[in-house]
Each structure stands twice: as C-alpha cells, then as structure tokens.
Amino acid sequence: MNFNIPTAAIHRITFKQETSATKQNRGGSNRSLSTNQAAFERNPESDSFEFSIGYINDTHGQTNNMMRILSGLKGDLKLSAGDNDIGDEKNKNVHKATYKFLNIAGVVASALGNHEMDTTQADLIDSLNGYNGDLLAVNLKKDMLEDQDPNDIAEFGRDHLEEKLKGSKIVEVKGEKVGLIGASPMDMFERLTHGNYHLDCHVDELEDTIDDIQDEIDSLKGQGINKIILLSHLGHKRDQIVAKNTEGIDIIIGGHTHELLEGIREGENLFYSKTGEPVVLTEAGKDGNYFGQLNVAFDKDGVLTKVQNNIGETHKFHKNMIHQYMFDEILGKADKVGFILQAPPPPKSLLEENPHANFVCDAMKDEMGADISVWNNSGIRNFFHEGTIDSRDIKDIAPFFDRMSLAEVSEKTLVDAFKSAVETTCKSHGNKPGLLAVSGLNYTVNIKEGKLKAMNFVDKDGNETPININNPRADKMYKLATDEYMMSEGADYAILAPADKCLKILPYDKDVLTCNYIKKLKKPIVINQTGRIKYEG
C-alpha cells in the first residue's frame, strides 16, 4: 500500500506486513509478541543505522507486572512515557520498588507523568536520587521557591524539584547519539492526589508546549543530533498534534490515555511532521499489562526508513525468582491468601460493570459491618487472576493507600453522589471517574442521557427496597463503608461524610479487608458479582 506524502516531503513510504518477532524470556520460555505488525520501508539500501527500543508507559506501580516485564522487555534503548509510579507518601515502599524496576530494566529516561507527582516534591527527589536515569519534562515550569511561604517546604514537602528534572538528554546507542525530550500532561494538576504539594509548579498549555518541544529539538539539532525521540505523557490526541506541528521528532513514546497501539497504521500512529518526515507514535495500554519493542532504521540523514512495532502481553511472561527476592526485600514477602477458581476478564470501559471491584465492595461491607459499600471504579488498577492469589496481587488491584472509613450517610447524600458520578462519567473523556462499584445496592443508568434512573437497597438476605431517587430522604441513614479518599476527601464527588463524623476509620485499606474476607471464606473464590448495574436505553 503506497501513501502520498505532502509536497514538502522528500520520500514515499511503502507498508508491508511483517511476521511476529518471537522473544525468549529469561526463564527459558518462548513468548511471542503481537502478530499485528506492520512496517514501512524506503530505499532499504540507503539505511545506515538500526536499533531497537523497549518501551513502557503507565505501569502505575504494578509490581507484579513489573517483575514479568523484566523477563520480556528487550531493546538497545529502554524508555518510559511516564506514570511508572502511583500513590502518595504513604506508598513509599512501592516508590522504591518502582525505581528499582526502572534501574534493573535499564530504562535510561522517562517522561514525568502526573502520578510521579502524587507524592511530595521532597519524596520524589528522594526516589530520583536512587534512579540511574532521568525524568524529563520540558514543559513543567517551577516558580521560584523564594516567592513561596517558607513554611510550605516543611508542611507540603516542596523542594527544589527543578534541579532534578531535565527537558532533554543525549544518549549513545550502538555508537550513534540519540536525543530524548520529555513532556508532561496539560491536566497534570487536575489529576493529582494532593495538588497543594505543587502549587509552585505549572505545565504549559499545548501551544506553548509545542514551542518548548521545538526549542529543545532545535537545541539538539545544533549539537549534531538528527535522531530525536519524544517521551510524552501528553495523551494520544495531543501526541498527534505535536507530531504534525513540529519539525525533527522521529518517534513519540506515548502514554497517559492508555491506548494500545499495535503495528503501524497511517492516521493512527504514523503521521508526518511539518516538513513531511514520518513520525511514529507508540502507547502500550495501562497498568503494565503490555509493553513494546520498536525496531527502527534511519538513513544517513536521520530520517526513519523502517519501523516494526511489537506489543508483548505481560501475563505471558514469568517472574524471575531473583527479581522476586529483590522486590520482597523492599515490599515484604507476600502472604498467600486463597485460590481464585473462576474470574472473568476485566471490563474494557469504565462504563461497564466491574465484578472484580464489586467483590472488593463485598469484602468492605462484610468486614466493616456496613449496610452499603461503594468504590470509585477508576481506583481499581488490576483484577483477580485465576489460581493462587496473594496479598501483593490484591494490593495491585487497589494500589492507592487510603484508610477505610465507616459513616452514617443519608439517602439523599447517597443519591446525589450517584447522580453526579453517572453524569460525570457519561459525559467525560474516557468516561472517568467510572460507574461506581457497589455492594448492598443496585442501580439503573441511561448511558445516552447520562442519568441515574433507579436505585434499590439490598439487605443481607437479598431483599430489595426501592429508593426514591427523585425525592430521597434526608432522615434515612445507611452505614456506608468506603475509603477515606471517597468518604471525606471527595475524590471526584462531593464528600459523603467528614472525617470527624465517621463512626470508624481503620489504619489500613481495602486490600487488607479483602485478604481477610477471602481467608474467612475458606473456599475457592468465584468472581461473578454482576447485575448490580442495570442499563436502560
């Protein structure tokens, strides 16, 4: 298939289908990367330089997946598009494990994602001091600390973060120099767990970010660099805009929007720069469920002539026992909890009911002695796998640390929260924060209208009592269990109950409750908790 390049272009690109690349993991098992490959080629005899890039994005502190990725990630150059980490200062061991993973994998640079900024600047600097590579963010700007209240440094952990971040770096690959640039997302500070930690920072808007990137490209070109990779946590749509409105980028290792880009397709992950040169985009899903290998060739002028994009499925790779031991040293040895006899695939959309999250809600309700439990669906980061399950598997499902809370919540407060959640989810990009997982309730939604249509309370015997969502009672109270982030900090909604009104706040999170619940059941678990969300229209 031939593609006509804009008039300013100097070449034509031809697609050809490639066979899958078979990789061998360190445990000796052969694993195949995705067969949905495509490559483009121009004048092969003029190619002068070939190398491979192993890439990751949005691993979100998923330590079990990290150990599997270590058995499969290959490449002459290893890179990340950011969100390697997750959680605030309460997750310090996960932070340590994340940067240990990056070091073992040989990831030399990463974009600065929003989740890297979940923690304080002081804690982020502490993590970076143990990282052998660099975090890159050409468009994150730091106001002078002298302009801030000096007490902020102690109270909010603000520090000289700008001294640890770079806009770009130059690396040597097989004797050739390659330029790397990093970019952070425009919505960085809308997504932070603790925005007050970073009030002295801002991210440039897209137009200014494009200028920032181009200035960095020009600086690299001035140093004789003609092969340039952007590590981007901007998101896939913005990556496309950057690709078409800059000059000099060859590859964009992308993240943030959790797209899974397989092969090479024009208009999806192959675009052309202002001067008509090809720009290839990657993104490998989320939560470390996938990783990639990009095989590339450049001609003597630094123009891409061949690309093959391979995607690896993490679950097909085994953990290396040495890496398991290293992670156990940081995180503590995992406790075997039980056995999952049957579990469905995770939902692909936050509009779908999530039986894995519903099961965790069952655990919360039972262990807390609540009438109802709810969970913000966007907080779930993994799912139950069939087979033996341990405490770390469950922690990966709920990696954020928030204390469990129990409070008396009125029917009106509950209904208002669900109405807001449904409306926001149905109208937002990516359907965030997602339809709420529940136990002790079922409810009906109309996705097209973005409306809550009905709700029923379900008692411990399975009896349903309708709730009048048009006139909910302010005097009817339910014992509600959820984490403190949703209960008292608001998450993506109004708070359900302030902390000083809670009946109980436990010093641990839902992962501990779920482990206890599974142990107490003393039988193989079947995950099939569905039918709690009904769909109308």
Average pLDDT on 433-458 reads: 96
- Percent of the chain predicted with pLDDT > 70: 89
Q: How many CA atoms lie within 13 A of 494 on its CB side?
A: 10
Structure tokens given for 296: 């590339």
**Is 310 a domain residue?**
no
More reliable by pLDDT, 58 or 160? 58
The answer on pLDDT for 316 being more than 70 is yes
The answer on pLDDT for 291 being more than 60 is yes
Q: Of 1-15, 114-128, 420-434, where does mean pLDDT reach its minimum?
A: 1-15
433: cis peptide before it, omega within 30°?
yes
Which residue is it, tokens 């965790």?
360
**Cα separation of 92 and 95, whole Å?**
5
CATH of the domain at 262: 3.60.21.10
The number of distinct structural domains making up the chain is: 2
Regarding whether 417 and 297 lie in a shared domain, the answer is no
Note the Cα 245 to chain centre separation in Å. Answer: 26
Residue 512 binned pLDDT confidence (cut-offs 50, 70, 90)? very high
More reliable by pLDDT, 262 or 13? 262
Which residues span the domain enclosing 346?
A: 334-535
Residue 150 confidence (pLDDT): 66
Residue 27 confidence (pLDDT): 36
Q: Of 137-151, 166-180, 323-337, 468-482, where does mean pLDDT reach its minimum?
A: 137-151
The three-state secondary structure class of 109 is strand
Beta bridge partners of 41: 14, 306
Question: pLDDT digit string (tens) for 358-410?
Answer: 999 999 999 999 999 999 887 888 899 899 999 999 999 988 888 999 999 99
**Is 326 a domain residue?**
no
Mean model confidence pLDDT for the chain? 89
**Is 405 a domain residue?**
yes
Regarding whether 368 and 223 lie in a shared domain, the answer is no
Whether the CA torsion 121, 125, 126, 128 is positive or negative: it is: positive
More reliable by pLDDT, 381 or 447? 447
**Is 427 a domain residue?**
yes
Regarding whether 372 and 442 lie in a shared domain, the answer is yes
Residue 221 confidence (pLDDT): 97
Structure tokens given for 111: 């974009």
Residue 13 confidence (pLDDT): 39
CATH of the domain at 395: 3.90.780.10
Residue 155 confidence (pLDDT): 78
Regarding whether 195 and 75 lie in a shared domain, the answer is yes
More reliable by pLDDT, 197 or 238? 238
Question: pLDDT digit string (tens) for 413-429?
Answer: 999 999 999 999 998 87
Regarding whether 208 and 75 lie in a shared domain, the answer is yes
Residue 146 confidence (pLDDT): 59
**Is 178 a domain residue?**
yes
**Is 325 a domain residue?**
no
Note the Cα 301 to chain centre separation in Å. Answer: 35
Question: pLDDT digit string (tens) for 34-53?
Answer: 434 445 555 555 558 999 99
The answer on pLDDT for 490 being more than 80 is no
Residue 125 confidence (pLDDT): 93
Average pLDDT on 313-325 reads: 91
Regarding whether 368 and 269 lie in a shared domain, the answer is no
- Percent of the chain predicted with pLDDT > 90: 76
Neighbouring CB atoms inside 10 A of 276's CB total: 15
Regarding whether 223 and 123 lie in a shared domain, the answer is yes
Regarding whether 341 and 454 lie in a shared domain, the answer is yes
Q: What is the residue type of 199?
A: L
Residue 45 confidence (pLDDT): 52
Residue 37 confidence (pLDDT): 40
**Cα separation of 84 and 66, whole Å?**
10
**DSSP per position, 33-54:** PPS---EEES-GGGEEEEEEEE
**Cα separation of 108 and 53, whole Å?**
11
Regarding whether 339 and 250 lie in a shared domain, the answer is no
**Is 88 a domain residue?**
yes
Task: Please tell me the pTM assigned to this model.
Answer: 0.81
Q: Extract the runs of DSSP E, i.e. beta strands, from 386-527.
A: 387-390, 404-410, 437-439, 441-446, 451-458, 464-467, 477-483, 504-505, 525-526
Residue 494 confidence (pLDDT): 79
**Is 530 a domain residue?**
yes
φ, ψ for residue 203, nearest 5 deg: -110, 130
Residue 145 confidence (pLDDT): 58
Residue 47 confidence (pLDDT): 55
Average pLDDT on 496-514 reads: 95
Regarding whether 44 and 185 lie in a shared domain, the answer is yes
**Cα separation of 174 and 151, whole Å?**
48
Structure tokens given for 113: 């994602």
The answer on pLDDT for 510 being more than 80 is yes
Regarding whether 414 and 295 lie in a shared domain, the answer is no
Residue 292 confidence (pLDDT): 98
The answer on pLDDT for 491 being more than 70 is no
Residue 432 binned pLDDT confidence (cut-offs 50, 70, 90)? confident
Residues 6+ apart with CB under 8 A from 323: 67, 70, 71, 104
Regarding whether 119 and 17 lie in a shared domain, the answer is yes
Average pLDDT on 168-188 reads: 97
CB 350 within 8 A of CB 395: no
The answer on pLDDT for 62 being more than 80 is yes
Nearest alpha-carbon partner for 484 in 351, 397, 368, 394: 368
**Cα separation of 465 and 428, whole Å?**
31
